[in-house]
């Protein structure tokens, strides 16, 4: 069973933020409007960050908004960092193999097979 999420109007959100800016405490506004203080704190963060441009639409971020662009940019920067670390690791591994292993192994040539001979059987048995 899914519970329906309550969608609050932009006007209500702005009225609550203006009341808090005017000196009313978060708990007073929460009691008066029958809202969660945590919800008001979340709204306050967006209000401080975006001012009058806060709370667009019906509670969903608009595609192409500044916040979604910044989130996408952050995601791509993390991916670039991850790929850079992987590249550095592979370069170091390749340098290690070139330095510490015989050229035949690195170049793909035949490697020494002396160690892979079967053990000798004891004589007389």
Domain boundaries defined on the chain: 7-60, 62-106
The CA distances from residue 74 to 83, 87, 117, 119, in Å, are 14, 20, 55, 59
Label residues 74-111 b or e (16+ Cβ within 10 Å = b).
Answer: eeeeeeeeeeeeeeeeeeeeeeeeeeeeeeeeeeeeee
Confidence of residue 97 (pLDDT cuts 50, 70, 90): confident
Beta carbons of 42 and 50 less than 8 angstroms apart: no
Give the residue carrying structure tokens 């209000």.
47
User: Of the ranges 72-81, 95-104, 110-119, which one carries the lowest mean pLDDT score?
Assistant: 110-119
- Average pLDDT, integer, range 47-54: 86
Alpha carbons 87 and 85: distance in angstroms, whole number: 5
**7-60: CATH architecture:** Orthogonal Bundle (1.10)
């Amino acid at each position: 069973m899914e519970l329906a999420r309550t969608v609050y109007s932009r006007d209500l959100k702005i009225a609550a933020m203006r009341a808090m800016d005017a000196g009313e405490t978060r708990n007073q506004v929460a009691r008066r409007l029958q809202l969660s203080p945590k919800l008001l704190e979340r709204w306050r963060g967006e209000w401080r960050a975006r001012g009058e441009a806060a709370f667009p639409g019906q509670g969903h971020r608009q595609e192409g908004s500044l916040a979604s662009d910044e989130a996408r940019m952050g995601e791509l920067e993390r991916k670039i960092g991850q790929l850079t670390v992987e590249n550095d690791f592979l370069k170091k591994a390749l340098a290690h193999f070139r330095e510490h292993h015989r050229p035949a192994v690195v170049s793909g040539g035949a490697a020494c097979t002396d160690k892979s001979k079967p053990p000798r059987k004891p004589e007389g048995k």
